[in-house]
Structure 1
């Protein structure tokens, strides 16, 4: 797997991932290419973006609003929240990372910004423990399941 980050002329960063299967029967190569907003709150990794594309297509919608946040609870004190929202649900004080080429907005409320700034959202297709993964540089503790953290 090769993961490259490069600067583009629009002061954004483009993420490109090339995945090669080592199976003899498969020479499939997959490219995920998108522009990352400058100073993004949430860094959406290529596998997560691919899964979000699939979910948007499955919902048969022109755009997707992904709301991310935190709430009290979980085994480490705070739990991650990730849900779909509508444009009407976006509040004035929300931080918004917009991916126009992907028709995606990632929205974070002001309170959660303190805990989520710099978070990396990834996706795993593993049979056990698969799904969206959160890598939070602000977390001092985190649980084994990866769905809660402490600061």
Structure 2
């Protein structure tokens, strides 16, 4: 099965850490989605924990269930989720090589 979104090993490590340390309920997985934007901002990406819903594509990355709404896959294809940790900031980043600015 084609995985619309790839998750780097560093991001996956952080997701697993959050799932084990923040009491994410059993049966929940990582949800990746888009939030529509207007104007110059364009579209943004969402990351959270959720149960699978009807109309989702669900796949596993190293034991972590990933849920994506089927109708959003065209916006997410090729997206890479990474995790940045530096002196100035830390957090998840989204890299989409197909969507050049």
Could you state the TM-score of these two structures normalised by the residue count of structure 1?
A: 0.57
User: Of residues 72, 82, 89 in structure 1, which corresponds to 2:36?
Assistant: 72
Equivalent residue, structure 2, for 1:17: none
Q: Which structure has more RCO (C-alpha within 8 Å, separation ≥ 6)?
A: 2
Q: Alignment length, in residue pairs?
A: 99
User: Of residues 43, 46, 50 in structure 2, which corresponds to 1:85?
Assistant: 50
Larger Rg belongs to = 1
Cα deviation for residue 63 of structure 1 reads 5.2
Q: Separation in 1 of the partners of 2:65 and 2:92?
A: 17
Equivalent residue, structure 2, for 1:56: 19
Cα deviation for residue 71 of structure 1 reads 1.4
Q: Secondary structure at the match of 2:3?
A: coil
CA contact (8 A) 1:73 1:79 kept: yes
Q: Separation in 1 of the partners of 2:87 and 2:28?
A: 26
C-alpha RMSD of the superposition: 2.0
Q: Secondary structure at the match of 2:41?
A: coil
Q: Which has the higher helix share?
A: 2
Q: Separation in 1 of the partners of 2:57 and 2:30?
A: 12
- Identify unmatched segments of 5+ residues in structure 2: none
